[in-house]
């Protein structure tokens, strides 16, 4: 069972004042782990979930492609974390890693993709040449 972290508004205000509204990566990591992410992660998370829900049936995107399409090419790991804890109704199964590998430990992801017509190669990876929704370079 996953624990949902609650934003801590009073700590968010303090962090905003100290860092001028922009968190350095190290502090951002700790702030997100502590649940002090309201002003930073909520917008990005909602953008990620909205974009993922636009992926049509039978197509996939990679974590990096989602981050790049949102203008944050270095945030593929955050996309992966958001997908692992995605709320009900988000089509997180349509996001795979850059090689086409499904999420570790999520056996149902392959079943969901296959039910939508996504083909897998002999090595168990999604055939990205056939099923990548949008090709992103960068």
What residue segments make up the domains of the chain, in order of their start?
1-36, 41-131
Burial of 26 (0-12, 13-18, 19+ CB in 10 A): exposed
Give the dihedral of Cα atoms 37, 136, 96, 99; nearest 10 deg: -130
What's this model's pTM, rounded to 2 decimal places? 0.69
Any long-range contacts for 1-10 (C-beta under 8 Å, 24+ apart)?
Answer: 2/85, 5/34, 5/35, 5/37, 6/35, 7/35, 7/36, 7/37, 7/38, 7/39, 7/42, 8/34, 8/35, 8/36, 8/38, 9/38
CB 83 within 8 A of CB 106: no
Q: What is the mean pLDDT of the chain?
A: 79
pLDDT in tens, 30-83: 445 444 444 445 788 888 999 999 999 999 999 999 999 988 888 999 999 999
Which of 131 and 22 is assigned the larger pLDDT?
131
Distances (CA, A) of 56 to 23, 28, 61, 116: 34, 32, 10, 10
pLDDT in tens, 83-96: 998 888 899 999 99
Lowest mean pLDDT among 10-14, 84-88, 106-110, 125-129: 10-14
* Range 41-131 has CATH code 1.10.10.10: yes
Q: Which of 87, 94, 91, 88 has the alpha carbon at shortest distance from 65?
A: 94
Size of the chain, expressed as the number of residues it contains: 138
Average pLDDT for 4-18: 51
């Amino acid at each position: 069972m996953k624990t949902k972290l609650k934003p801590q508004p009073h700590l968010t205000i303090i962090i905003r004042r100290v860092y001028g509204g922009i968190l350095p990566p190290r502090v951002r990591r700790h702030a997100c782990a502590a649940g002090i992410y309201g002003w930073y992660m909520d917008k990005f998370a909602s953008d990620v979930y909205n974009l993922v829900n636009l992926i049509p049936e039978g197509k996939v995107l990679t974590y990096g492609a989602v981050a790049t399409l949102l203008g944050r090419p270095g945030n593929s790991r955050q996309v992966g974390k958001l997908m692992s804890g995605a709320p009900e109704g988000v089509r997180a199964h349509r996001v795979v890693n850059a090689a086409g590998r499904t999420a570790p430990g999520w056996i149902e992801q392959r079943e969901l993709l296959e039910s939508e017509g996504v083909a897998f190669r002999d090595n168990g990876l999604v055939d990205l040449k056939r099923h990548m929704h949008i090709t992103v370079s960068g």
